[in-house]
Amino acid sequence: MEPSDVDPSIAALERSLALNRARQRDLRDEEAEICSQLQELRSSAKQAAKDAAEAHHVLVDWTGTFEWDATVADLLKSRFGHDSFRPLQREVINATLSRRDTFAILPTGSGKSLLFQLPGLLSPSGLTVVVSPLVSLMVDQVASLSQRGVRCALLAADLTDRTQSTEVHHQIEDPATSGLRFLYVTPERIAKSKMLVSKLQKAYHGKMLLRFAIDEAHCACAQGHDFRPDYLSLGTLRTTFPEVPILALTATASESVRADVERSLQMDHLSARFRGHFDRPNIKYSVRKKLDEAALLDEMAALALRDFPSQAGIVYTLSRADAEKVADGLQRRGVRCAPYHAGVDALSRQSMQAAWQSGRMQIVVATIAFGMGIDKPDVRFVFHHSMSKSLEAYYQESGRAGRDGKPAEAIAWWSPSDFYRLASLACDTSDRAAAWRALVGSGRFCEMRHCCRRECLASLFGQSLPARVGAVSLGQCCDVCAAASAEAAAPSASIAHRSTLEEMDVSPLAIDALRCLAELNDAAAAEGVTDGGAAPAKLTALKLVEKLASRLRHADAKLSREALEHLVLRLVLADAIRVHFAFTAYSILTYLFTRPSLASAVLGDPGATAHSAGLHALACSLPSTLLPMAKAAKANKGGGKRKAAAASDVPPQSRKRVLPESDGSDFEVEQPMKQTGRDAAGGMPAGRGRIASAGVEVVIIDDDEE
């Protein structure tokens, strides 16, 4: 055998070996994911069975009559200035006054602070310990209670010096003498200060410790979106102070998170549990296309100065550096704002918060910690410079707006590059699988243009929206509903626009993207270019888009670069393309590789179609000026006929178009809701998606719907 005959054989075997190794890694990842989900489901099922078995022992009508009703009503009016309770407030207060462990999951703006402040004032004396990770919240509440003549104290590393700590410790020892009613403390202080715990023990033995209120309780769950290790140490409160009831409070927690938090805090399995409704009907949610940074800052400044003049708002950013940069850019555009993050000294943060609350500053540009629990109900807008890492976090952050019940807006700016940046942050967590699922849910929320955003957020908590009546309510609901309402109001314009479109199958484009990526991965593996044997490398999303753009130029295709970026992201969200993380000394890089089973399908069959590869089918509507591309796509093997039939099988109401703007430059990606079921990632509906760019509209349809 000649050497020239041997070399190709060796290369082929090496490629085959690399592909098999990739498949093994793929299977291991899937096995780990399935095991994780199975364990979570088993735990939830076990807890549900336990709850059901004991339900008849713990059923209490918390809306009934209790001996303290008259005193509670008097305190509500005299101390807090309210004539009535908000939903579930009275029930939670009755439960904690009954000395039951209580878990309250209530939406932002539902008045959770009242749930421990009012019971804490009901007794003539005694100490309520409030644990929170949010120093700004505690500063605000201490100031508010002090103005009402209530003695309270705060222990936090940045705000309390040694002398102040010593004085507070003396007050804790004997609350009956000192008159101390509320102690606000960070979880880190509970975990690390033996002196504090010893002083609390003295109050406990003197029967002066009323309850522990654990705010942001979801932080005790390793599966949650904001896990904090110091929260796990709060489980010792039960063993150290066994007779003191625990009141756990949060605005975001699924049933599995709730069960995990109760285990971490060692709460009684007979705890009283309350869950409010999470719809925020006064907030209009929108997701906008992120332009270049200068244009984005122009847009933010225009909105703040034109649409919300002299009204308070928050801009959330992903990092301290972003907060500084955005604040500087908005200041240069005439907006009264300042950056707020952990790198700013405590006194400056307090001064900044006071200026914002008084109206002297319009906007606080902050990392995610700001605003949680601050008593400012008239925030009219919340902007997200970049989307949150999870929908739970986004719900909580956007919920800072409109707590007074008046109209407010939550606007997030989004681009595919944000997803990969968020992915690199999410992977640096203790539970990467959970962080990835949450991020995928967040990405799908931003990409969709078919489903009411409020409905999607409510679905996170297993809830649905009440029926809405009228186009006005639809228009004020979210950007998706507003677009649908506008289209319904002018159907003739919509029909005229649609007449310029022609259906085509763009499955070959997705297959080409996968084949392009698989070939590059395969070539890298054959050359031994891997990251420590972890995955074929090194192709970023940017490089893949460049390769696709180069191929399409030769095919005379007119899809924009932006359209290709969203198409690649859509394939990532559909798990057709996998993301691999490479850790360096200074950063975390994200590389793409085709899922091994798909790589085998597209490389082994030059005529592979979306159907043969087990991938979503794609349909596209094109203006007549792009018919050469449409004809080329129809000529592609196995394409047009299959999709033509599939598209006709989709009910018209499920194929509603969200068309590009009249200037032809708008870009949209959409994933409509299926008739049944929701995707596991972030509670988002699975199903169809749509891409529109320069008059091109792509619809992605699951094979199981055809």
Which of 431, 462, 484 corresponds to the end of one domain?
A: 484
Residues 218 and 305 occupy one common structural domain: no
The whole-number pLDDT of residue 687 equals: 34
Nearest-angstrom CA–CA distance, 181 and 201: 16
Residues 466 and 558 in one domain: no
* Phi, psi dihedral angles at 592 (to 5 degrees): -110, 145
Distances (CA, A) of 438 to 397, 419, 432: 15, 12, 10
- Quote the pLDDT of residue 132: 93
- pLDDT for 599 equals 65
Phi, psi of 182 (to 5 degrees): -135, 130
**Average pLDDT over every residue of 200-214:** 96
Provide the 3-class DSSP secondary structure of residue 366.
strand
pLDDT of residue 492: 56
Q: Which two tokens stand for residue 32?
A: 């780990």
Longest dimension (CA), the chain: 100
SS3 of residue 502 by DSSP: strand
In this predicted model, which residue has the larger pLDDT, 211 or 454? 211
Q: How far apart are CA 263 and CA 257, in angstroms?
A: 10
211 in any annotated domain: yes
Q: How many domains does the chain have?
A: 3
Q: Which of 146-160, 390-404, 422-436, 692-706 has the lowest average pLDDT?
A: 692-706
**Same domain membership, residue 496 and residue 478:** no
Q: Report, as an integer, the average pLDDT of 419-423.
A: 91
pLDDT of residue 696: 34
Please identify, among 220, 246, 275, the residue that sits at the C-terminal boundary of a domain: 275
Given a cut of 70, whether residue 316 has pLDDT beyond it is yes
The predicted pLDDT at position 306 comes to 96
Residues 530 and 582 in one domain: yes
**Structural domain containing residue 147:** 64-275
> Residues 475, 508: one domain?
no
Pick from 29-33, 408-412, 534-538 the range whose average pLDDT is largest: 408-412
Question: Residue 496's pLDDT band (boundaries 50, 70, 90)?
Answer: very low
Distance CA 664, CA 656 (A): 19
Same domain as 342, residue 199: no
Contact 254, 103 (CB under 8 A): no
CATH of the domain at 598: 1.10.10.10
For residue 451 the two structure tokens come to: 């489903």
Q: Which of 255, 275, 295 is the last residue of a domain?
A: 275
Find out whether 271 and 239 touch, Cβ atoms under 8 Å.
Answer: no
In a domain, 25, yes or no: no
Distance CA 526, CA 198 (A): 64
For 594-621, the pLDDT digits (tens) are 877 776 666 655 655 555 555 544 443 3
459 and 546 co-located in one domain: no
How much is the mean pLDDT over the chain?
A: 77
Residue 185 is inside which H or E element, if any?
A: strand 182-185
pLDDT tens column, 319-356:
999 999 999 999 999 999 999 988 888 889 889 988 99
pLDDT band at 590 (very low <50, low <70, confident <90, very high): confident
Higher-confidence residue: 431 or 111? 111
pLDDT tens-digit series, residues 636-673: 444 433 333 333 333 333 333 332 232 322 222 233 33
Are 370 and 390 members of one domain?
yes
CATH number at residue 245: 3.40.50.300
pLDDT for res 611? 53
Which of 569, 514, 522 lies closest to 541 in space, CA to CA? Answer: 569
Q: CB–CB of 544/513 below 8 Å?
A: yes
Per-residue pLDDT, 58: 58
CA-to-CA distance for 152 and 640, rounded, in angstroms? 72
Q: Are residues 403 and 384 in the same domain?
A: yes
pLDDT in tens, 535-580: 444 788 888 888 888 877 655 555 678 878 888 888 888 888 888 8
The distance of Cα 148 from the centroid of its chain, to the nearest Å, equals 36
Residue 556 zone, left/alpha/beta (φ > 0; ψ -120 to 50; rest): left
Least confident segment among 34-48, 375-389, 447-461 = 34-48
What pLDDT score was predicted for residue 419? 93
Under 8 Å between Cβ of 689 and 447:
yes
Assess whether 251 and 328 both reside in one domain: no
Residue 82 has pLDDT above 90, yes or no: yes
Q: How would residue 21 be classed by pLDDT, with cut points 50, 70 and 90? A: confident
332 & 465 share domain: yes
Residue 504 lies in a domain: yes
- So what's the pLDDT on residue 630? 35
Structure pTM? 0.71
Per-residue confidence (pLDDT) for residue 594, from 0 to 100: 81
* 1 in a structural domain: no
Whether residue 665 is contained in a domain is answered as yes
pLDDT at 527: 59
pLDDT at residue 110 in the model: 84
Mention every residue, 6+ apart, whose C-beta is less than 8 A from residue 633.
504, 505, 506, 508, 509, 620, 639, 640
Helix (H) or strand (E) holding 313: strand 313-316
- For residue 390, being part of any structural domain is answered with yes
pLDDT band at residue 469 using 50, 70 and 90 as cut-offs: very low
Q: What counts of helices (H) and strands (E) characterise the chain?
A: 27, 20
Record the tokens describing residue 542, joined without a space: 């940017």
- Dihedral sign, CA of 457, 458, 462, 466? negative
10 occurs within a structural domain: no
**CA 311, CA 193: separation in Å to the nearest integer?**
41
Residue 45 placed within a domain: no
What's the confidence (pLDDT) of residue 623? Answer: 35
How large a percentage of the chain has pLDDT more than 70? 73
In a shared domain, residues 328 and 192: no
